[in-house]
Amino acid sequence: MLLIRCPYCEQERPEVEFSFAHQAHKPRPEEAGEPLDDHAWARWVYYQKNIKGVAHERWNHAGGCRKFFNVVRDTVTSEIIATYRSGETPPVEESRVEGEALSFDYEQAEG
């Protein structure tokens, strides 16, 4: 059984107590300088990086303290490298996503 350290409870707990939420450190549309329209919100809610390697993720200790925190996880091996509290700086840099600078235009994809 995989044990995950909750940074708030400060103890390792079984993985069944936790749930994945979404990509961590995802800037809201206004923080990214985008217009606040439906398209920007749809991208923010539904689109996430698909990182192969070290990724920053937001998890919830649903079966414990119920607090959200951040996880540094290797998506290739599923190894959890570190956990840290919300608002703290990630202890390990995230892997680069191929073509990350490109934005996805879902209006073209709908056609």
Choose, by CB under 5 A, the member of 4, 24, 55, 61 that binds Zn ion: 61
Longest dimension (CA), the chain: 49
Mark residue 53 as left, alpha or beta (left: phi above 0; alpha: psi -120 to 50; beta: remaining).
Answer: left
CB of 13 to Zn ion, least distance (A): 7
Strand partners, 6: 11
Q: What is the x/- site pattern for Zn ion, positions 28-57, by CB under 5 A?
A: ------------------------------
Q: Rule CB under 5 A: say whether 68 interacts with Zn ion.
A: no
- C-alpha closest to that of 80 among 65, 68, 91: 91
Q: Rule CB under 5 A: say whether 71 interacts with Zn ion.
A: no
Q: Rule CB under 5 A: say whether 21 interacts with Zn ion.
A: no
CB of 8 to Zn ion, least distance (A): 4
Q: Counting beta carbons within 10 angstroms of the beta carbon of residue 34, is it exposed (0 to 12), middle (13 to 18) or buried (19 or more)? A: middle
Of 65 and 97, nearer to Zn ion (C-beta) is: 65
**Positions that interact with Zn ion (CB under 5 A):** 6, 8-9, 61, 64-65
